[in-house]
Amino acid sequence: MTLTYEKVTNLAKRFANNEQDTRVGNLEPNEKTLLRFIIEKKRPVKLKEIVAIFQAHPRTISKWAEH
C-alpha cells in the first residue's frame, strides 16, 4: 500500500488542478478512489480510513501495498 499511496499522493500534488492529465485517467479504480480521498482530506491517510473506504480487512489493504 505504501507504493500505491506514494504514487497517488505524488499525482495528487502535481496534477490536482489538471483534470486533463492522462496519467490520472490511467489509474486503477482503487487508486482513483484513494486519490480523490487524499485530495479531499488534504492530509496523510491512515490505514483505518483506507479500510473504511474499501470495506476491507487491514491485512487485505496491507497486501495491496505489496503489489
The whole-number pLDDT of residue 2 equals 65
CA distance 23 to 47: 25
Range of the domain at 22: 2-65
Per-residue confidence (pLDDT) for residue 23, from 0 to 100:
72
Q: Domains in the chain: how many in total?
A: 1
Note the pLDDT of residue 67.
Answer: 63
Pair 34, 54: CB distance under 8 Å: no
Is residue 8 classed exposed, middle or buried when 0-12, 13-18 and 19+ CB atoms within 10 A define those classes?
buried
pLDDT tens for the chain, residues 1 to 67: 567 777 777 767 766 655 566 777 788 888 888 888 888 888 777 888 888 888 888 888 888 777 6
What integer pLDDT is reported at residue 66 of this predicted model? 74
DSSP 16: T
